[in-house]
Amino acid sequence: MGGFLYRVITALSMTIGRAEAARAVADRLAPSAGDELLDIGCGPGAAAREGRRRGATVIAIDPDPLMLWLARAISALRRAGAVAWVQGEAEAIPVAGGSATVFWTLSSLHDWQNRATGLREVHRVLAPGGRFLAAERLVAPGARGHAAHGLTQAQANGLARELTTTGFDSVRVETVSLRRRTLVLVTASR
Ligand SMILES: C[S@@+](CC[C@H](N)C(=O)[O-])C[C@H]1O[C@@H](n2cnc3c(N)ncnc32)[C@H](O)[C@@H]1O
């Protein structure tokens, strides 16, 4: 019961203050009508809804049924556009190869069990020319506990190198300051 309550509180906490990050990511990759967007580790779905608002067809994936339930409930309450909410994980993305033109993941990549497998999956599902973005909170070296949930600058640079060896092009690392946090954005194209 304690575990379930913790998960509910964690999920609810992810519904607060996510819109600004969602807009920052959507501004970078500019999804629009004609794009097939995948959001992996979508949580309660702020970024997926932002992508849909901008006209893309969206599949939003998360391993946690509670997150998907919350995402569906918030979308219904807000009468947001249709998003396909699907259970799955980065290491085995449940979509066909070459089917996405835009792929993003916000505050999730640091949680993936096997990042190398996840990045190979991203490469598989993106169509040639597809755009990828990983957004994480910029964290200080040596941070612990919740303060460590994100990437240090060095870890972001390591992710960029891993993307290059996985076969991505135009890999770039930048930081963006939001009102409540600084994000590190790692972008690439397929
Ligand atoms: C901190 S939440 C971020 C949610 C949302 N992207 C946001 O920014 O509000 C991290 C999410 O990643 C999901 N996650 C954890 N491991 C994952 C994996 N291996 N593949 C995909 N998603 C994963 C979690 O279930 C959770 O919903």
Q: Whose CA is nearest to atom 8 of ligand 1?
A: 106
Ligand 1 centroid to Cα of residue 169, in Å, is 25
Q: Whose CA is nearest to atom 27 of ligand 1?
A: 43
Q: Convert the pLDDT of each residue in 85-107 to its tens digit.
A: 999 999 999 999 999 999 999 99
Cα 146 to Cα 167: distance, rounded to the nearest angstrom: 32
User: Considering the entire predicted model, what is its pTM?
Assistant: 0.94
43 lines ligand 1 (CB under 6 A): yes
Q: Convert the pLDDT of each residue in 12-50 to its tens digit.
A: 777 777 899 999 999 999 999 999 999 999 999 999 999
Tokens 């932002």 sit on residue: 50
What one-letter code names the amino acid at 184? Answer: V
Mean pLDDT of the chain: 95
Ligand 1 centroid to Cα of residue 22, in Å, is 14
Atom nearest to 62 CA in ligand 1 = 22
Token pair in block for residue 127: 């169509």
Q: Whose CA is nearest to atom 15 of ligand 1?
A: 111
146: pLDDT strictly greater than 60: yes
121 lines ligand 1 (CB under 6 A): no
Cα 74 to Cα 92: distance, rounded to the nearest angstrom: 26
Atom nearest to 64 CA in ligand 1 = 25
Atom nearest to 149 CA in ligand 1 = 1
Cα 54 to Cα 79: distance, rounded to the nearest angstrom: 15
Cα 161 to Cα 78: distance, rounded to the nearest angstrom: 39
